Structure 1
């Protein structure tokens, strides 16, 4: 990651903004399943939520682009990147993760999905030859232990779900890396979010031609909750995550994304009455410990410059 030369105070402020962007993004992604579960009780499902989560944000983003006079044009390269990183990686991640719920518990699926920080670090190390410091490796190991503490036991017929959840970790790592290592990194965040929302919605609609699981007419309250989810994830959280990746780089941002399961556990306890047992509490502590190691590592790196 190419970072302009900054003073120590400016560097820390710059990094702090990146951390704040990424953490808020992760918490938004983590809290919205509470609303998602409410929409499922009102007749929605995973395919419907994925479709509307992407589609509903497009008109809002179009208005923002018009007001801010953001150009709509895309080069062939940008279009290709949108389709690759957005549809092939981001949309497929959501689809596979939701599909895994049919075979394994949400806890187990989420645990396997959150292997993506490790996959992201390995991708950047192998493909882009980024240095993987000992402190970062330690943080990833601690985070892995923390995430595993969120896991439930999988049954004997869970192989398809395990494969889907693990595959979602790989595709999401590819998405984060693509947002960091391609021209999408420097594109306007609103423009990227708008086109990805449109392309992803179309992709889900095409895939649904076989199962026909999208429910196009939902109760008003379900549509309201779905709209809130769309705005929080495909607009606000997406934009914040892109900014966080720009500042921190994909491997470090992926670690701070681990606030998402913490947000899910805490919001589930507060709003759905789910109990926080000792395992989930220790998992939260391990994730926070991994974040602390990452922060201290970044400070050490700056002090040696």
Structure 2
């Protein structure tokens, strides 16, 4: 129980850090960056920070583990590319909300691979799903293409979560896992950026600082916390508690960009918080026996 509580705390903290990405990505765009370079530099700087932190112990791994990291990096690298591309068509809040269809997709995937889904998890998914619907507020210039790209990013991320949860990496530290996944993701995204003609390093000092900050917050810290939390509390709970990310995005918009939260959005936040409370609270003994 203590380990699961730690896992929940790690997931929520990582969600808060991930929730800063839309704001940081848009700032990076204003300094001549693009979706490919934001994703590439985020992972490149992230893996560099992790290398400086972990050093020699990062390389004490087996060949089959290296192969697993390579497989995990594919969906993990594609996720931010599609999510950041959606920012070109729809606003960051809408994109993040649509991306967060992935907890429901994770639950469906786990059901398809014969993992038992509890009534409590179904209730929580319904509450969180309802909350996300209320948070979904497309602007007048919302694009169907942008919506589709954002949802697809959630589908790819769901694949990553299920793959990580079913991998044999629990004995490794989150530092090792985060480093190798980030490194391979950076290599893959860098290659895609070159093939797409999107690779550029022409940034001002401010632009570089934003990219470095994304590498530190959204990769080094957030990725380590998420992976550690997922391996402690499981795929379904990890995806459910990640719904704190769009809430963070809304609060950042309210505090730093002067955006006003509507009553509907507040109700959406309350539903998501309620789903988390239901998932965390211990079940009464008589319910546990009958479940």
Relative to the length of structure 1, the TM-score reads 0.87
- Quote the residue 1:278 is aligned against: 263
- The CA RMSD over aligned residues, in Å, is 2.3
Deviation at 1:93, TM superposition (A): 1.0
Counterparts of 1:284 and 1:142 in 2: how far apart (Å)? Answer: 10
- Quote the residue 2:174 is aligned against: 189
Whether 1:55 aligns to 2:41 is no
- Quote the residue 2:214 is aligned against: 229
Match of 1:136 among 110, 113, 121: 121
Deviations 1:141-193 (A, max 9, x none): 11011111122347799443333222211111111111111023332211221
- Quote the residue 1:5 is aligned against: none
1:301/1:141 CA distance change after superposition, 3 Å: farther
Match of 1:84 among 56, 68, 71: 71
Counterparts of 2:286 and 2:208 in 1: how far apart (Å)? Answer: 47
Match of 1:75 among 59, 62, 85: 62
Deviations 1:80-125 (A, max 9, x none): 22122112x1111111122223334433332221011111111112
Whether 1:34 aligns to 2:34 is no
1:156/1:21 CA distance change after superposition, 3 Å: closer
> Is contact 1:93–1:169 with CA below 8 Å preserved after alignment?
yes
Counterparts of 1:263 and 1:154 in 2: how far apart (Å)? Answer: 19
Counterparts of 2:286 and 2:205 in 1: how far apart (Å)? Answer: 51
> Is contact 2:3–2:233 with CA below 8 Å preserved after alignment?
no
Structure 1 unmatched ranges of 5 or more: 1-10
Relative to the length of structure 2, the TM-score reads 0.91
Deviations 1:52-87 (A, max 9, x none): 100012222122222xx4151543322222122112
> Is contact 1:120–1:173 with CA below 8 Å preserved after alignment?
yes
Counterparts of 2:67 and 2:76 in 1: how far apart (Å)? Answer: 14
1:256/1:111 CA distance change after superposition, 3 Å: same
Match of 1:44 among 33, 37, 42: 33
> Is contact 2:22–2:92 with CA below 8 Å preserved after alignment?
no
1:19/1:60 CA distance change after superposition, 3 Å: same
- Quote the residue 1:256 is aligned against: 241
- Quote the residue 1:240 is aligned against: 225
> Is contact 1:54–1:230 with CA below 8 Å preserved after alignment?
yes
Q: Equivalent residue of 2:255, what SS?
A: helix
1:275/1:31 CA distance change after superposition, 3 Å: same
Deviation at 1:302, TM superposition (A): 11
- Quote the residue 1:25 is aligned against: 14
Match of 1:119 among 101, 105, 118: 105
Q: How does 1:87-236 map to 2 (within 5 A)?
A: 87=74, 89-127=75-113, 129-153=114-138, 158-236=143-221
Q: Equivalent residue of 1:56, what SS?
A: helix
1:71/1:114 CA distance change after superposition, 3 Å: closer
